[in-house]
Structure 1
Amino acid sequence: SSDLDETLSQTARLLSQLTNEIALVQYPSLGKASVRHIELIAIDDKRLLLMLITDSGRIQQHVMEVASGYEASAVEKLRNFLNEKVAGKPLSSVNKTLRASKDEISAPLQALAGTVIPEVALLVDANSQEKILLAGTSNLAKRQGEFPGSISPVLEAIEEQVVLLKLISEMQADQHGVSLRIGRENTVDALSNTSVLVSGYENQGSEVAKVGVIGPTRMDYSSNIGAVRAVARYLTQSLGGL
């Protein structure tokens, strides 16, 4: 877990409490994320801690077993090599860059690099999973009377990360930075009796993800739009401080 996880989960809970709707917070899009730093720390002579830190504040870490007998200085040299190659680069290019750089690794580091670089690749791949946090799904059950028919299809649809990610990625913001789809404007049949309201939040001046709410079509639009915009601004400021 990292500061980013904590910030996003707190934000989702806060937005659901403010609006009494289901809140959704998308993790920063990693297609646009870059590597801030790779850390490699010797825990003992057989284990290393590998940390991948992105510019959006996400931290992935993994403890790996290594063959004993390497020099302590080798860890530092390999860490420096990795950062020299990928720090500041987009996550999407990391694996290709490291594969292309294998021949540049000095002979004494080859064995250690052979263990560490595949683990870096796994962390990059784990980071590449697009993800949405939800909070307040119980709010839907409390307002069941505002939906014609069962709310089960709605709950099933929003639990499908791929469906939700596709839907919000298609939503274009208006001049106030807000995207709204009401009822049958939603491309997902199960959400044809709901409204989906989202706004983008930024990191380093460009939009990285969306935050918003899902609720019945009779939701309080002006209040919810105000809450979603305020939370998007808060997330933009928070990311700048991570």
Structure 2
Amino acid sequence: MVSTVLDERKLAVLRAIVEDYVATQEPVGSRALVDRHGLGVSPATVRNDMAVLEEEGFIAQPHTSAGRIPTDKGYRLFVDRLATVQRLSGPERRAIESFLEGAVDVDDVVQRSVRLLAQLTHQVALVQYPTLTRSTVRHVEVVPLDGTRVLVVLITSSGRVDQRIVELPEVLGEELLTDLRARLLGAALGQRLSDASTSVADLIETFRPSERPLVTAIVTTLTRAFSDERADERVAVGGAANLARFGTDFETSVKPVLEALEEHVVLLKLLGEATSPSTLTVRIGAEGPYEELATTSVVATTYGTEIEPLATLGVVGPTRMDYPGTMAAVRAVARYVGQTLSD
């Protein structure tokens, strides 16, 4: 059995190999590790540690090179035990906050977020639009326009605003308008969209027969808005060109990776394993769900709150990625997106 001191030393050697290989893309030799990392031992001792790490599958020797590179197993151990998630600098955090503060609606938040992630990580960024099956109704409003037209407004907890014009069979009186507003809010406020749809539809029978044609027209439009939001599962993609910077990291070419990322179901599957804003999901190489993406890693998390996670975001890049920096950027952007939407 290897002593604790030797175990810690081997972990330090593995950490150094991962950090150097990510930075240089060159296989790492024992002398370079001693020179650059101050490990406090001789190159011969480091070579022995590297031999054990290679035997256990954490590093490998590519071709006939004298250096070693991390394997997927090595990256996994690095992420699980060795990587310290970096803190973004003050200017970086302020830049994220100010960039997202300028967003005017949910679409704008998502598009800004995907650009931010791609710029911060130099990877392919993925941001799922709020999964609105989990959204609740924040506000419902009926606004009279001109003649027999009214504007129905739905605002969800995800921040989405849906506005629809309804043509009524006759003018909506002030008394009925006030009553209808109150009942719609009472039935829908705080409800999940699917539940709100049912509750609002049940209201029709509670009005007088003479009022029901007007109420039905408005309620029907509102329930359509609920249904449309439940069907929304879009994913925004940004920074695909960043993969070209890592062309040699892929066994054949980057083309199969880019083709896989064009598939909507692939994107949802990659992001789908993230379940909580407080945790990061990291899938390395063959741990992912698709063979075409076996040379990539995914870092993802959800945004929103622990009680109400809205959707997921993350990045896809080669397994030779800066895991601490990428994890920090994903976590920070998710936190700010959640705050922006809640505000």
Choose which of 187, 206, 230 in structure 2 pairs with 1:85: 187
1:166 maps to 2:269: yes
The answer (yes or no) to whether the contact 2:297–2:317 under 8 Å persists in 1 is yes
Distance in 1 (CA, whole Å) between partners of 2:288 and 2:124 is: 16
Question: Which one is further off, 95-104 or 18-27?
Answer: 95-104
Question: Which one is further off, 215-224 or 93-102?
Answer: 93-102
* Deviations, residues 165-194 of structure 1 (Å, cap 9, x unaligned): 2332234679x7110111111112322221
Cα 1:180–1:82 change in 2 (3 A) is same
The one-letter code matched in structure 1 to 2:338 is T
Cα 1:157–1:74 change in 2 (3 A) is farther
2:310 partner SS: strand
| TM-score, scaled to structure 1 | 0.88
Question: Which one is further off, 198-207 or 29-38?
Answer: 198-207
1:41 maps to 2:143: yes
Distance in 1 (CA, whole Å) between partners of 2:136 and 2:301 is: 23
1:139 maps to 2:237: no
Choose which of 314, 317, 321 in structure 2 pairs with 1:219: 321
1:197 positional shift: 0.6
The answer (yes or no) to whether the contact 1:2–1:59 under 8 Å persists in 2 is no
The one-letter code matched in structure 1 to 2:263 is E
**Which residue of 2 is the match for residue 149 of structure 1?**
252
**Which residue of 2 is the match for residue 63 of structure 1?**
165
Distance in 1 (CA, whole Å) between partners of 2:335 and 2:306 is: 13
1:165 partner SS: helix
Instruction: Kindly indicate which of the two structures has a greater share of residues assigned to helix.
Output: 2
Cα 1:43–1:153 change in 2 (3 A) is farther
The answer (yes or no) to whether the contact 1:173–1:179 under 8 Å persists in 2 is no
Choose which of 168, 171, 176 in structure 2 pairs with 1:74: 176
Distance in 2 (CA, whole Å) between partners of 1:189 and 1:133 is: 22
1:120 positional shift: 1.0
**Which residue of 1 is the match for residue 299 of structure 2?**
197
The one-letter code matched in structure 2 to 1:140 is L
* Deviations, residues 52-111 of structure 1 (Å, cap 9, x unaligned): 101221111222322233324433332222112111111121222223332112334211
Give the aligned length. 240
The answer (yes or no) to whether the contact 2:180–2:215 under 8 Å persists in 1 is yes
**Which residue of 2 is the match for residue 118 of structure 1?**
220
The answer (yes or no) to whether the contact 2:270–2:298 under 8 Å persists in 1 is no
* Deviations, residues 141-161 of structure 1 (Å, cap 9, x unaligned): 343333223433323332333
Percent identity between the aligned chains? Answer: 36
Choose which of 146, 166, 177 in structure 1 pairs with 2:279: 177
The answer (yes or no) to whether the contact 1:203–1:240 under 8 Å persists in 2 is no
The answer (yes or no) to whether the contact 2:133–2:194 under 8 Å persists in 1 is yes
| TM-score, scaled to structure 2 | 0.64
The answer (yes or no) to whether the contact 2:284–2:297 under 8 Å persists in 1 is yes
1:219 positional shift: 1.5
RMSD: 2.4
* Deviations, residues 25-50 of structure 1 (Å, cap 9, x unaligned): 22233232110111111221132211
Instruction: Kindly indicate which of the two structures has a greater share of residues assigned to strand.
Output: 1
The one-letter code matched in structure 2 to 1:41 is V
The answer (yes or no) to whether the contact 2:201–2:223 under 8 Å persists in 1 is no
